[in-house]
Amino acid sequence: MFPSNIQIHELPHIKKGLASSAFDDEGVSTHERKIVENGIVQGYFLGSYSARKLGLCTSGNAGGNHNITISNGTSLGFSTILKEMDKGLLVTELLGQGINPVTGDYSRGAAGYWVEGGEVCYPVEEITIAGNLKDMLSSISAIGNDIVVRGSKRCGSLLVKQMTVAGG
């Protein structure tokens, strides 16, 4: 599903973390766990009802996840990621909804900056980016150390090797 260097962890006990919690919404204790290890999915997000239906154990996730972090073993600065990209699109804004959960096809409006030679050249808007989620996830080549926290998710900039860009 992911490149072999990708790790995704759930860290429910981060001090002052936005999604930290000792218990989920059903009173089940939360625990640190690996969601993806070396690119391979290790577990699901299950409350008691879902776990029972699947014949599995609850993962302590009734009500949502807790401080999800993604890493790939190297801590790259944003300028290093731009240099590694060399030429492409730096997406800063996504518009609309365009994900087919059955096929994984992905298409969304976007805006951002065009990059050449690892340097930001000019702004672009009214464009569309497209791909397939499986292909996108398996082609993550870099994760930045510029971590942004949005609710329960903690992630740096992602460099995806290839997507379709149209418009502009």
Pairing, β 68-71 against β 153-155: parallel
The residue-averaged pLDDT of 30-35 equals 96
- Whose tokens are 């379709």? That residue is 164
* CA-derived radius of gyration, the chain: 18
Least Cα distance to 62 among 23, 15, 100 occurs for 23
**Alpha-carbon span 62 to 75, nearest angstrom:** 32
What pLDDT, in 10s, does the model give residues 123-159? 999 999 999 999 999 999 999 999 999 999 999 999 9
What pLDDT, in 10s, does the model give residues 85-137? 999 999 999 998 889 999 999 999 999 999 999 999 999 999 999 999 999 99
Least Cα distance to 91 among 118, 116, 122, 124 occurs for 124
Domain ranges of the chain: 1-73, 78-142+158-167
In which band, very low, low, confident or very high, does the pLDDT at 74 lie, cut at 50, 70 and 90? confident
Q: What pTM was estimated for this model as a whole?
A: 0.84
Look at residue 156 in the predicted model and tell me its pLDDT: 92
Phi-psi sector, 135: left (phi>0), alpha (psi -120 to 50), beta? alpha
Question: Which residues, listed in sequence order, are joined to residue 114 by a DSSP beta bridge?
Answer: 89, 122
What pLDDT, in 10s, does the model give residues 35-59? 999 999 999 999 999 999 999 999 9
